[in-house]
Chains A and B, each alone.
Chain A
Amino acid sequence: MMLRALFFLLCLAGASVRAADSPLVTELNKHSVDITARYTGDHILLFGAMPQGGNVVVKVTSPPEKISIDRKESLGPFWLSGHKHVVEGVPGVYYLLSSAPLNHLAGADVLARQGLTLDTVFAAMRASPAPQHPRAMRAAILRIKDTDKHFLMRDDAVKIVGGRLFYVNIPIPARLPLGQYTIQTLFLKNGAVVAQESKPLDVDEVRLEHWVSHVAEEAPWAFGSVFVALVLALGLGLGVFLNRSRA
């Protein structure tokens, strides 16, 4: 991975001189993450060139998702699922990867305006029915997203080489929401955002897995009937075959 990063950086070193009019240039080593049955996590390498002296923040977000959150409550001796709330408006994935601690790079107002704080992540959150303890619910979402590696904050993840080039290795976890992710790179200098660039990243199931989950979602009755008929035939075939081989 390191060697590959250096190779890209060397290529960029040439390109960045020519792209002097655009202060920030970025590229990804791939533009999609293919989820197959054997997918168990991935890494995306983002690399680029920037003007001398400054810092880089990379924000990765997936589309807002619809989740249900459930709190276990004690009922007599039992701990049971209590009320279920449907939560919308929170991105499935939210990474902030930077070359220095964010509060050193800009003031709170700039960070908030650029969506670089957790408050902005939860700004559009809607829960129905409205929770009794919204703060506890928000803390729980944060905790679980953190455990699942869906929310990630690293202030040493972006490496700057020679003051002009940078790269960051973005970890993509094994279990993750699907959809078109946005990878936004911001160049900050003297407390202000000087330049920014966005790149899309497609995270989706491919081939048979895509087809199966697509059909099961779009045509559940046809999928159910055909699949159960298939299973019936499989069971019958195996049963007859194994009985014959045993006899």
Chain B
Amino acid sequence: MEIFLPIAHMDVNLLLIVFFGAIVGFLSGLVGVGGGFLITPLLIFVGVPPLVAVGTGAAQIVGTSAGGTYAHWRLGNVDMKMGLVLLLGSWSGGALGVQIAKALEAGGNFGNTVTFLYVGLLGFVGFSMLLESINALRGNSQAQVRPAADQGGGWLARLPMQVEFPVSGLRISLVLPVAIGIGVGVLTSLMGVGGGFIMVPVMIYLLRMPTKVVVGTSLFQLLFTTTEVAILQAGVNHAVDPLLAIILILGSVFGTQWGIRLGAKLPGEQLRLILALVVVSVAVKMLYGILVKPDELYSLALTR
């Protein structure tokens, strides 16, 4: 069943988009990742212009992370002060990123940039997950990365603007979370991802936040970063397709429920292996797309 997308100006198969939403929601329910990094490449594969894929991806994450953020906030798992400091960074980064996207699009380079960012990111994340889950399946799970307790503390403590974060029980410099926030904000604008896959490890290993507040604070941060970026992508780049976003959200919200139920029954290592294979294959497909000489060298697009 084909439907016409008003902003992307193209026909897509409704069931295919629902399926994309469901698959991403399913994976996020199963293994707890956001899955924004899968939506954008899948949309690009079916021919959605890269900028619209990225802008709509950000809007989709707003819808899928709102419920979870609320649930964590109710449970008191959000370090609000840390969340706001991170947002200070990611809102600046998001605004900067949207302008970078606009400039790249005007020069015709946005598609290339997105492809390279995704091949690099998905390749790296996918292969690390693949190695980790293969190790876990072999049974040497004790070889996992352990937070380095003593190293790195020195330079962090010497940074200026040290501030107390009572909920996390930390005293650290504002410089670090703001800088990380800026980086994640830029990625949200350029890739349409929430950045949870960067934020969670950073919070655990670098900021040393207690595990209890990590997921809630990360969700809080990414919810409001994607909110800002989605508004900016609509305002600056006309790149948010409302119909596409709503179909993806509905698909993924129900996919998540399905994933959570199935995830409770399946062993964790195998689930992570499946996800790793999915991520690696998307990266390989994207790489293949730029390595093979296309049949038609030229492409046309309507411009404003």
List 14 interface pairs A-B (beta carbons < 8 Å), by A numbering: A37-B4, A38-B3, A67-B300, A68-B300, A68-B302, A68-B303, A216-B240, A220-B236, A227-B242, A231-B245, A231-B246, A234-B249, A238-B249, A239-B67
Verify B230–A228 contact, CB threshold 8 A: yes
The interface stretch among B108-116, B155-163, B187-195, B275-283 is B108-116
Look across to chain A and name the residue whose beta carbon is closest to the beta carbon of B111: A81
Partner of B67, one of A36, A145, A242: A242
The interface stretch among B121-129, B197-205, B288-296 is B288-296
> Which residues of chain B from 174 to 216 have any CB-CB distance to chain A below 8 Å in the complex?
none
Q: How far is the CB of A132 from chain B (nearest CB, A)?
A: 13
New A-B pairs, 6, CB < 8 Å, besides A67-B301, A223-B234? A37-B3, A38-B3, A82-B108, A175-B11, A209-B4, A212-B6
Most chain-A CB neighbours within 10 Å: which of B2, B246, B296, B299?
Answer: B299
Verify A236–B70 contact, CB threshold 8 A: yes
Partner of B63, one of A77, A145, A231, A243: A231
Verify A216–B242 contact, CB threshold 8 A: yes
> How many B residues touch A, CB cutoff 8 Å?
56
A232: chain B residues within 8 A (beta carbon): 62-63, 66, 227
CA distance A175 to B231 in the complex (A): 27
Verify A228–B238 contact, CB threshold 8 A: no
The interface stretch among A45-53, A136-144, A152-160, A180-188 is A136-144
Main secondary structure of the interface of B (DSSP, over half): helix
A58 within 8 A of B: no
A217 in contact with B238 given A70-B301, A72-B294, A239-B67 (CB within 8 Å): yes
Q: How far is the CB of B263 from chain A (nearest CB, A)?
A: 13
B7 within 8 A of A: yes
Q: How far is the CB of B211 from chain A (nearest CB, A)?
A: 22
> Which residues of chain A from 40 to 93 have any CB-CB distance to chain B below 8 Å in the complex?
40, 65-74, 77-84, 86
Q: A residues bordering B, Cβ < 8 Å?
A: 35-40, 65-74, 77-84, 86, 137, 140-141, 143-145, 147, 174-175, 177, 205, 209, 212-213, 216-217, 220-221, 223-225, 227-228, 231-236, 238-240, 242-243, 246
Partner of A140, one of B230, B249, B298: B298
Verify A242–B246 contact, CB threshold 8 A: no
Interface string of B218-250 (1 = CB under 8 A from A): 000000000100111111101010110110011
Verify A140–B242 contact, CB threshold 8 A: no
A137 in contact with B111 given A68-B303, A216-B7 (CB within 8 Å): no
B236: chain A residues within 8 A (beta carbon): 220
CA distance A66 to B302 in the complex (A): 6
Look across to chain A and name the residue whose beta carbon is closest to the beta carbon of B110: A81
A221: chain B residues within 8 A (beta carbon): 231, 234-235
Q: B residues bordering A, Cβ < 8 Å?
A: 2-4, 6-7, 9-11, 59-60, 62-68, 70-71, 107-109, 111-112, 227, 230-236, 238, 240, 242-243, 245-246, 249-250, 253, 257, 290-294, 296-304
The 3 closest A-B pairs by CB, nearest first: A239-B67, A84-B108, A224-B234
Verify B68–A239 contact, CB threshold 8 A: yes
CA distance A108 to B10 in the complex (A): 37
CA distance A174 to B10 in the complex (A): 9
Partner of A235, one of B63, B109, B303: B63
CA distance A84 to B108 in the complex (A): 5
Verify A144–B11 contact, CB threshold 8 A: no
A216: chain B residues within 8 A (beta carbon): 6-7, 234, 238, 240, 242
Verify A228–B4 contact, CB threshold 8 A: no
CA distance A74 to B294 in the complex (A): 10
